[in-house]
Structure 1
Amino acid sequence: MQTLLFLAALLTLALPLGGALAQDADRGQALYAVHCATCHGLDGRGEGPMAGVLMIKPANLTELAAANGGAFPLERVVKRIDGRDPLVSHGSPMPVYGQFFGFDANAALAGEVPTVQPVADLVTYLQTLQRAE
């Protein structure tokens, strides 16, 4: 019984407070390479190998902050990826990877915006791509 209580206390200490999970740009970069680079390009400039066949050109993800007065539009980007702000340029609403990036209010926080852990990691990586104005 004591061992069980000790393990429960240890687990409680290991869990992040307030539902916020650590965001990892390296995990986000790996997710980006698998799920986003085909359209947005490895460098995020919207020139991936599939960009030419899309009805709407993929966004240049390195200019998100510049296009928003220098501030990274965190909430808009999170909601675009997880499907709460639909984008149909792909022939179907984002997220094109369905439940993997789909919104779950109990999952995680990217800053103060609730989302799933993969989206939090991906957005953290996208923030590293922003070029100075």
Structure 2
Amino acid sequence: MTFRHALATAILALAAGGAQAQDSVIVLGKSSFGARCALCHGDDGKGGGEIAELFRVPPSDLTKLSERNGGAFPFARVYGIIVDGMDEAGHGDSTMPIWGDYFIADALEDRGVKMSDAVEIAAGRVLSLTYYLESIQR
């Protein structure tokens, strides 16, 4: 199963579950953000994480993604960047980690699941992280 298929499945499941499911998804996304993203982007997502000073160009303020996109949250682009990483000047001499691969490996190793299930688990984690980022827009 591809990330695109898993994303479509997750979106349908969220639509069916209503607001309570969305709140749970955002809580999971916030947890993933704190564990994986805050070190660079800061607990508040504004770019001032503990190791931000190590980058030639500081990490982005993730609370302004909508503002930089004309007011609309760039959901698909953000999801894609989390899945595939990012190789742009803003990340200095290194690239943003490819969290899609990490989340798949994590599911395979820690949960002992088969690859198709690991892809779905990873897609769900990326989706929840994207929803969390959408929720912190200013």
- TM bin (shorter chain): 0.5 to 0.7
The CA deviation string for residues 23-81 of structure 1, in whole angstroms up to 9 with x for no partner, is 50000000000000001000110001100001231010000000101000111111111
Counterparts of 1:101 and 1:123 in 2: how far apart (Å)?
A: 17
Q: SS state of the match for residue 47, structure 2? A: coil
Paired residue type of 2:9: G
Scaled by the length of structure 1, what TM-score is found?
Answer: 0.68
User: How many residues get paired?
Assistant: 107
Pairing partner for 2:102 from 85, 99, 103 = 99
Change (3 A) 1:30 1:93: closer
In the alignment, residue 71 of structure 2 is paired with which amino acid?
A: G
C-alpha separation between the residues in 1 aligned to 2:33 and 2:104?
12
Q: Give % identity.
A: 31
The correspondence of residues 1-133 of structure 1 with structure 2, limited to 5 A, is 19-20=9-10, 21-22=13-14, 24-83=25-84, 86-87=86-87, 89=91, 91-95=94-98, 98-100=101-103, 107=119, 116-131=123-138
Give RMSD over aligned pairs: 3.0
Counterpart-to-counterpart distance in 1, 2:56 and 2:125: 27
- Structure with the higher helix share, 1 or 2: 2
Please tell me whether the aligned partners of residues 39 and 51 of structure 2 are also in contact (alpha carbons under 8 angstroms): yes
After superposition, the Cα gap between the structure-2 partners of 1:96 and 1:53, relative to the gap in structure 1 and judged at 3 Å, is farther
Larger radius of gyration: 1
Partner Cα distance (1:96, 1:62) in 2: 19
Whichever residue aligns with residue 68 of structure 1, its letter is N
- Specify every segment of 5 or more residues in structure 1 that has no aligned partner in the other structure, as ranges: 1-17, 109-114
Structure 1 ranges of 4+ moved more than 4 A: 104-108
Shift of 1:130: 0.2
